[in-house]
Structure 1
Amino acid sequence: MTSVQGQCDSSFEGVREVFEESFADGQNLGAAVAIFADGLPVVDLWGGVADRSSGRPWAWDTSCVVFSCTKAVTAASALLLAERGYVTLDAPVAQWWPEFADNGKGDVTVEHLLSHQAGLPAFATPVSVAQAADPVAMADRLAAQTPEWEPGTDHGYHALTFGWLIAELVRRHTGLTVGDFVRKEFGSDLWIGAPPGVIARAARISVPRRGEPKSPLTDVATQTRVDAAYAEPGSLIFRATSNPAASYNDPVLLRGGWPAAGMVTTARALARFYRDLMFGVSLRPDTLREAIRERVRGPDRVLLTDSAYGLGFMRPAQSFELPEAARAAAFGHPGAGGVVGLGDPEHRLALAFVPNLKRDYFAGDRRAYRLIEAAYASIT
């Protein structure tokens, strides 16, 4: 039986119970969950196996790639630069990136980039993992592309391109990569571009074996529709999520600093990031209020279901399924296979769940959902 380690405030014992059950019933391989309430750490738990092939256990400092949870951290970089007066969110991107105006993108704003309205959800030509390590070259590719739709008229998840679009904003105004800027401003344990030592100690991503239990949140009809689109190489969801194609255990990817999906960190550090956002450590309260204000909601041209976006942060919707208690005020970002980070300024709650068993359900699975549910039950 998997031994869960760490600390848990007595009022959050329900979270510990759910976390322990997720190992007992085979839902987790290795994972960590961290929660801050009223700014204080109340849950810091971990357990299981960090590397299935070697049996290496998950330790207190085990980090893991968090997939699209990276987007929230990258977005915060742009928001901080706007707060400091480097950019204006509703002004054209071409004011500071002239080449971006090509092919009908002259009116695209930073807000369009942050809210997935820019019409650039996928690269037009194949990109290798090695090429993806050059953020300037990736930005140049996107600047030369024609949008899939008229920017600002619709929205669709920019699964990978989001990161390199925002990375160019950071680079042009600071001279830094997103990874360097993030570690300087938001936390030394948030690695977008991890060094060899961090990669060697990180958990390795695994996929469920045949016959392992499943617990998807998404209804069967939606899951079937999305699965069918994924199976079609020409579909927008396939092109947006599969180019560059890579294994997220590949050191080239993890040190390459993919700013939409490649961050390596701990649940503790990710939850602290949201705590710091809500308590004015990282951004001013008015900046955060504007960032989490919903800009778009409705059918997502890429994800093929309803989504809702603020500026870089998701709001509760089909693409970010949350318990009812969280739906009014929570914001954050899920990641592939069940990872999630969120904050709730109304309930003064910050939470992160980081597993290494990657379940490819469209909107995650019940592991994170049940932990979030238990967390809210502990404060109400």
Structure 2
Amino acid sequence: MGAYVTGHTDPAFQAVREVFESSFADGQNVGGAVAVYVRGRPVVDLWGGLADSRTGSAWERDTPCIAFSCTKAVTATAALMVAAEHGIAMDDPVARWWNEYGCAGKESTTTADLLTHRAGVPAFDRTIDATAAADAAGMAALLAAQAPEWAPGTQHGYHALTFGWLVGELVRRHTDSTVGEFTHRRISPNLHIGADAGVRARAARSEFPPAEQQVWQAEAEGIDAGTVARMSAAYRDPQSRILRAVASPFGSYNSPAVLAGGWPGTGLVTTARALAGFYRALVQGRLLPPSLLRDATRERARGTDAVLELESAYGLGYMLPSQNFIVPESARATVFGHPGAGGSVGLGDLENQVAFAFIPNLRRDWLAGDRRAYRLIEAVYAAL
């Protein structure tokens, strides 16, 4: 019961449906959805399983789900749209448009540094609860007062939560709108960064697999044993950058306060269809001019991430294939996008005019063997 997969698949992409169906048959998925556009045409739109295993409620056509850091690509796009409209160059100092930010060693921080995770402010210096995190202005003020953990622009490290309020401040200061409000008005009304009561009532419940299925492998495909060991040590150290980066603000992603809070780094609640539609609009030039998108997806940072302890790569807010965003070889040279905690992925491909999104509610980890999105992307590219 509940594992039935339904929706539309173009015959040329039947293998994608087979991969998706098999992920329920072997227990890798509880519920989820996958959507693909190629050259603007919908070729895959599938959903299935359970939205909530406690109640047995089925995943419906329009069931939304938290997409975690897939949010960052939407926030980055909003910021790039605003920057283009207001003549803000990527090498402009942040303090030029956010005067309060130019203090405590952050005076040289550029707008590009915020978007490429080079700002040196990967974590808040205090504990923040979910209620306070709904105040975008207040969150930005806290970050503006902090000293950086490294000289801005000298290295990159994943700003897991702070990215949203840093980059989102560009939007807020120039439009008098939160990222969620701007996104709803200018990008898509189906991308909810700040989910209202109706959306929350329909949302799938985020779940974890049994503990034995969460154990990291000593060496994962594409990630060597030494890197896994460094990451494991960091996740055991409460003072490590990665744990501090994800610990505050803190709240369950099933909590109404978090889902409604509009966290612009991790709070997106949406469907796979809407997220893939966002990437379709991007690659078709309907959100950013193609020349700007090409520049934004140009590699600007790559190497060992100062927070994650593994290789990461970034354009202007978009993540590029790396150890932290592993995609099949067939897609590696052309895709950009962003993965999210637990296995969700959204990506675009200008060269092949592909837009893809996969959003599950069972939070698996690549290092523990999760290959759900990888296999779906592999099947898409095999069918092109």
TM-score normalised by structure 1 residue count: 0.97
Task: Report what 1:113 is aligned to.
Answer: 114
C-alpha displacement of 1:243: 1.2
Task: Report what 2:189 is aligned to.
Answer: 188
Task: Report what 1:24 is aligned to.
Answer: 25
Task: Report what 2:37 is aligned to.
Answer: 36
1:50 counterpart SS class: strand
Match of 2:242 among 222, 226, 237: 237
**CA distance in 1 between partners of 2:31 and 2:224 (Å):** 26
Task: Report what 1:155 is aligned to.
Answer: 156
C-alpha displacement of 1:364: 7.9
1:368 counterpart SS class: helix
**CA distance in 2 between partners of 1:150 and 1:211 (Å):** 40
Q: Which amino acid aligns with 1:356?
A: N
Match of 2:262 among 257, 265, 269: 257
Task: Report what 2:58 is aligned to.
Answer: 57
The C-alpha deviation readout for 1:202-239, integer Å capped at 9, x for no partner, is: 00000002455989655554334313211210000110
Task: Report what 2:47 is aligned to.
Answer: 46
The C-alpha deviation readout for 1:135-172, integer Å capped at 9, x for no partner, is: 11100110011101000110000000000011211111
Between 216-225 and 135-144, report the one with greater CA deviation: 216-225
Task: Report what 2:146 is aligned to.
Answer: 145
Residues 190 and 269 in structure 1, CA contact (< 8 A), matched pair in contact too:
yes
Task: Report what 1:335 is aligned to.
Answer: 340
Structure 1 residues 153 and 15, CA gap change in structure 2 (3 angstroms): same
Structure 1 residues 213 and 99, CA gap change in structure 2 (3 angstroms): closer
Counting only pairs closer than 5 Å after superposition, residues 96-135 of structure 1 correspond to structure 2 as 96-135=97-136
Counting only pairs closer than 5 Å after superposition, residues 1-380 of structure 1 correspond to structure 2 as 2-212=3-213, 217=221, 218-361=223-366, 365-379=370-384
1:182 counterpart SS class: helix
Structure 1 residues 213 and 258, CA gap change in structure 2 (3 angstroms): closer
Structure 1 residues 213 and 253, CA gap change in structure 2 (3 angstroms): closer
2:192 counterpart SS class: coil
For structure 2, list consecutive stretches of 5 or more residues without a partner in the other structure: none
Residues 336 and 364 in structure 1, CA contact (< 8 A), matched pair in contact too:
no
C-alpha displacement of 1:86: 4.3
Residues 320 and 363 in structure 1, CA contact (< 8 A), matched pair in contact too:
no
For structure 1, list consecutive stretches of 5 or more residues without a partner in the other structure: none
C-alpha displacement of 1:365: 2.2
**CA distance in 1 between partners of 2:187 and 2:372 (Å):** 27
**CA distance in 2 between partners of 1:361 and 1:326 (Å):** 18
**CA distance in 1 between partners of 2:332 and 2:150 (Å):** 30
The C-alpha deviation readout for 1:2-51, integer Å capped at 9, x for no partner, is: 21000000000010000000000000000000000111000000000001
1:43 counterpart SS class: strand
The C-alpha deviation readout for 1:181-210, integer Å capped at 9, x for no partner, is: 011111000000010110010000000024
**CA distance in 2 between partners of 1:231 and 1:213 (Å):** 15
Structure 1 residues 213 and 239, CA gap change in structure 2 (3 angstroms): closer
Residues 26 and 213 in structure 1, CA contact (< 8 A), matched pair in contact too:
no
2:357 counterpart SS class: strand
1:129 counterpart SS class: coil
C-alpha displacement of 1:323: 0.3
Residues 122 and 158 in structure 1, CA contact (< 8 A), matched pair in contact too:
yes
Structure 1 residues 103 and 212, CA gap change in structure 2 (3 angstroms): closer
C-alpha displacement of 1:107: 1.2
2:106 counterpart SS class: coil
Structure 1 residues 145 and 210, CA gap change in structure 2 (3 angstroms): closer
TM-score normalised by structure 2 residue count: 0.96
Q: Which amino acid aligns with 2:349?
A: D
